[in-house]
Every structure is written in structure tokens, then in C-alpha cells.
Amino acid sequence: MSASTPPAAALLVLRDGETFEGEAVGAPAGVSAGEVVFNTVMSGYTEVITDPSYAGQIITFTYPHIGNYGVSSDDFEAARPWCRGVIMRDLARLHSSWRAEGSLEDFLREHNVAAISGIDTRRLTRHIRDAGSMPGAFGVASRADLLAAARAEPGTSGVDLVGQVTTAEPYTCGHGPRRVVAYDLGIKSTILRCLGELATVTVVPAQTPASEALAGRPDGVFFSNGPGDPEMAVATVEAMKEMLGRVPVFGICLGYQLLALALGGSTFKMRFGHHGGNVPIRCNSTGRIEITSQNHNFAVAAGSVPGVAETHVCLNDDTLAGLELPDAEAFGVQYHPEAGPGPHDARHHFARFAEMMDRHRAAA
């Protein structure tokens, strides 16, 4: 779209009928449908849009001005976006940054991601907080067609989204002295960079059996972030069960939820989840507060996992945010210590994983 071509009028309609007026931007599309969530970051929109954990979802940015510094491929968390669409208050028509390789709108068009701008994102966010995350649809179609699309959208509960985003074949990255197998459930590039400083990392598909993952005698196994319902990742949970006690295990976000399931715990879908870069977490053993990056719609039920120490809690709503199984050298956190985008308060968890692997290797 050139600067002289006005954007087409568009609507966003939620499953409950709530309707918002805006303008169609990004890739042209008649109807885009998915579960509508909101993210509170003030910068880092490229990282958010390319995070595979948003598969099946439409991202609402609460910060009003999006796209002002353009897009750089150095910020990609995956090779392409997996989200169903983007909702904004105001899309910057001009961008300015020495790092920029192009505009956000050009990026969205290149990757066939539709977006809608001009939305009252304050009203939308308040509605989601009151009513909960729900499917919605947006585009240049009629309100009736958009409402029908929203009501036909299944959301993320009971849907295997990991199978859509995981790697098809194993690959290797990193240069560190240890050996790590990383299960790709929707793994972010920033996580791979953090792990790659510690180890040579073999990234494997989510369905990889434990026997294959352990065949090369890794020093540790990592389970990544990813989209959707943890109870759908049955094969990965079974693989984790076979590994616990045999090799150090570290899980982030979805990987942490799968660790809880492997240990006999339970998960539940949150009202509207945590999506942002400023979420306070308390370490129960030290009382230390960390500001963290988070992106999840499901959580582990506190008290449901037998035999573990509940290590961290989210101060916004007291949801469980970390656990460890000391005897098995296994731990996980609900938040994102790698950030991307967000603060680096919690990056020490990668060093903790390295120490765990070194202990295990010395004892072998």
C-alpha cells in the first residue's frame, strides 16, 4: 500500500459479539481468525510476532505505537511468524533505525500476516481481562461473516499446536563445551543463543523418543517454550518421564508445564494468560524479586505436583512459576529467562543448568 492509498475499513469481532472498528493493514486477507490475547511490551514487537508460542493466536499490542523502528532480521525468534494476525492502535507509517531492514507492514505482507490498526486497544484489553481470552476474527468481511468465523474458531484448548511449529529434522547449533539435546516445541532463537554459549546443541523434533535423544549421551536435555495446550504433547511427556533421573532436565514455559505433567501434576487454562515483559516473580527460597518476560495461557496448578519444591511464584496472581526435583536434577520455570524481548534478570537459570550438567558429568 502506498502512502497515498488509504487503508480499507475493517472490523474485529470477538466470539461474544463485541465489535471494534479499524483499518486493514499488513497482508491482504478477507478473514483472519484465532484466539485473541494481549501483550504489554513497550518494544520488541518483532520478537513477539515471530515467537512460535503465538501459533493459533491473534496478538493485541497494548502499547499504542507499533512499527516505529522498523524490522531487523537479527530480532527474529523464528524464521517466520506463526501468529494468526496482529491488532494495533497505531501502525507507524514511517520508521527510523540504523538497524532497520524494512517496515513492519512490509514484513507482515512478506510473511502473509494480516493486521488491523486503529483499534481501541484499551477497550479491547479491558474486555479480554473481564471476559477472558477468546476467539475472534478480523478483516474487510461483513460483521456477520466475521462473527461466524470467530465462533467457528476452536481456540487453543485441546489443539495440538506444537506439531505445527516443531522442526521436521534435527539440526545442530552452538559452540559451548557441553552437549545438550533441545526439544523444539516452538523454540526461540534467543534460547538457542543462550544454550549455545553453554553447549553444542542438537535440536530435535517434539516427537523424538527418549532413546533417540539419549543415544549420544548428552550432558543435559532441554524442553523449550511452545504454543497451546500442554496436555496435547503426550509423546514429549512420555519421553521426559523416561529421562528424569538419568540426565539433567531444564524446561522453560511449555517445557516447564510438561515437566509438571511428567511428574504427575496438572495444568489449567488461565483467564487471559501472561503476555509481556514486566511480570514480577519471587524466588521462594531467597525472597528475591525478578522482573520477567512471559508468554503463556496455561499454568501448572500449585500443589498438584508430588515430590517437588515449588520454587517461584508470580506476584501478579500467585500462580506457580517454578519447580524443581532435586534428586533427579530437574527444574523448570514458567517465565522466559532468555527474554527476547524483556529484562535479563533471570538469565542465571542457564548457568544453573550448566552447573547441574557439570555435576552430573563429574559423577558419571
Write out the catalytic residue numbers. 253, 336, 338
69: Cβ–Cβ under 8 A, 6 or more apart, which residues? 43, 95, 96, 97, 99, 100
Those residues with Cβ within 8 angstroms of residue 131's Cβ, 6 or more apart along the chain or in another chain: 16, 18
Euclidean distance between CA atoms 99 and 76, whole angstroms: 13
Q: Which residue has the cell 497505531?
A: 90
Distance CA 113, CA 81 (A): 8
Cell readout for 25 is 493493514
Instruction: Compute CA distances 191 → 22, 76, 78, 122, 347, whole Å.
Output: 35, 12, 11, 31, 10
Give per-residue burial for 226-236: e unless 16+ CB within 10 Å, then b.
Answer: bbbbbbbbeeb
Compute CA distances 224 → 192, 319, 332, whole Å: 10, 20, 10
Burial class (CB in 10 A: 0-12, 13-18, 19+), 363: exposed
Q: Which of 314, 322, 308, 323 is nearest to 273 (CA)?
A: 314
Task: List C-alpha distances in Å: 184 to 120, 252, 270, 333.
Answer: 36, 11, 23, 16
Tell how strand 85-87 and strand 249-252 pair up. unpaired
Whole-number Cα distances in Å, 153 to 38, 59, 136, 140, 214: 18, 15, 8, 18, 39
The answer to whether residues 138 and 1 touch, using CB atoms and an 8 Å cutoff, is no
Closest CA to 15 of 141, 210, 148: 148
